[in-house]
Structure 1
């Protein structure tokens, strides 16, 4: 494994951290659209008040690492995905405005809707960006030569809907941990509903990949039918985690549903990341081709290697400080 491959897996780790942590607070936003009870909404938004800014740290970190370690990817992929990337920025702003203004407004409902639908928009943007990369891009001489709407396809729509279900599933698990009483019971029902939908959507995505021979590279079988054994093994582990998630909800456990969501997501990342490696932009740009010069990667590794433990400790400490249930009277400040 050379230095470019090391950065490939650092990128995968950062992406997993972002999808999981920002996923549950986006999920809370999505679930806010499922109730008209402003008291419940107060508790739901208060549950993420202390962490949602920090969760987006991983997105900033991801963008910085992508720019420094894989400048070819940063320059070419963004050229292909300007529209969904721009949509993501506006959606992030709308979501943040809705959440922050809601805390101070006398009429909370419009701002709650902006927060909720902004969360939906961010999630769909994630799906279009991730799906647009995964389905492969047309490059020639280091330049994108495809169409401006290549990112919009049946596959990227499937990925977007899958993320909507996944984030709501993780958000429900977060609310199970952070709330109690009737809201917690409702969160368990949301968790079962969206957990089932997530599993169903993953099956649809895998079925689409299996039927569309052009996407065989996603599962380590370019030009072949079926799935690679390593991919199957990782997905079986993900399914097992999903089963444990449902069992934990049924048993009334509070911490385990969120834990199983994190591990399930890690196995899904391992399945696709392991199948694609060393390709970083399908179908043909590898990490070595896209990487910055090796001396630069080593300097970055020393810097990021020292910074990452600090960020991880800070985030873990923050979650520790703000652990416990969200009280009924808590509101976002």
Structure 2
């Protein structure tokens, strides 16, 4: 049930991403775009999970995770490529944002960096790297989020709703800032301690 719930959450995130990118425009092209974004998000999470298991496990589980990671990195890259090219048609992003001065150069630089990171992940997996695949997969996500932010700015929904228009009032934002300012360092500290405590590979104990 945990696995099914995680899969449904990933698919939902992909659908929302596709819907927002297309500006909620109906039609067959938009539906296909949304389907590809859903596959891409699921593949990306599978890549993160598989490379994490490569980092943390040994034996048969590690070998299986490497095979899954190879499949996931190809499907993730393919979905990202299709989405990037398809953005020119069903999404207002390709019509407006890409034509602004300097934007396309930033996106090209990120695309080159993403391609190099893809090759590094593949190389690290095939060369039996332990930490490299996960580091590369994480970097792919960071690059993807950077590209998404550049594509969307200053909109939440391209051509329809800006970040400023979607923001809450100043009082609410101030209250949230103080609340998050208190909780966020605790969360960071807890996670750093957790990662330190459970560092290294999980090694089976022989009785």
TM-score by length of 2: 0.85
User: Partner residue of 1:293?
Assistant: 169
CA deviation vs aligned residue, 1:115-154 (integer Å, no higher than 9, x gap): 3x4433232122112212222147xxxxxxxx8x99x811
Give the paired residue count. Answer: 202
Q: Is the 8 A contact 2:55 2:201 kept in 1?
A: yes
Q: Give 1:213 deviation, angstroms.
A: 5.9
Bigger CA drift: 184-193 or 319-328?
A: 319-328
User: Partner residue of 1:162?
Assistant: 40
In 1, the alpha carbon distance for the partners of 2:91 and 2:65 equals 39
* Greater RCO (Cα-Cα under 8 Å, separation 6 or more): 1
Q: Give 1:215 deviation, angstroms.
A: 4.2
CA deviation vs aligned residue, 1:176-232 (integer Å, no higher than 9, x gap): 011111221221121112111211111111121124464426x8226x9xx721122
SS for the counterpart of 1:280 is: strand
Q: Is the 8 A contact 2:155 2:162 kept in 1?
A: yes
Question: Which ranges of structure 1 fall in alignment gaps of 5 or more residues?
Answer: 1-93, 96-114, 139-146
SS for the counterpart of 1:228 is: helix
Tell me, yes or no, if structure 1 residue 220 matches structure 2 residue 107. no
In 2, the alpha carbon distance for the partners of 1:202 and 1:290 equals 27
SS for the counterpart of 2:201 is: coil
User: Partner residue of 1:208?
Assistant: 86
User: Partner residue of 2:23?
Assistant: 136
SS for the counterpart of 1:326 is: coil
SS for the counterpart of 1:323 is: coil
Determine which of 179, 185, 191 is the counterpart of 2:69: 191
CA deviation vs aligned residue, 1:153-186 (integer Å, no higher than 9, x gap): 1111110111222121111101101111122122
Determine which of 175, 179, 185 is the counterpart of 1:303: 179
SS for the counterpart of 2:88 is: helix
User: Partner residue of 2:117?
Assistant: 241
Q: How does 1:1-333 map to 2 (within 5 A)?
A: 94-95=1-2, 115=3, 117-137=4-24, 153-212=31-90, 214-216=92-94, 220-221=97-98, 228-328=104-204
Q: Give 1:326 deviation, angstroms.
A: 2.7
Q: Is the 8 A contact 2:23 2:91 kept in 1?
A: no
In 1, the alpha carbon distance for the partners of 2:159 and 2:24 equals 7
Q: Is the 8 A contact 1:173 1:187 kept in 2?
A: yes
Q: Give 1:284 deviation, angstroms.
A: 2.3
CA deviation vs aligned residue, 1:64-96 (integer Å, no higher than 9, x gap): xxxxxxxxxxxxxxxxxxxxxxxxxxxxxx42x
Q: Is the 8 A contact 1:231 1:272 kept in 2?
A: no
What's the Cα RMSD here? 2.6
Q: Is the 8 A contact 1:137 1:283 kept in 2?
A: no
SS for the counterpart of 1:324 is: coil
User: Partner residue of 1:76?
Assistant: none
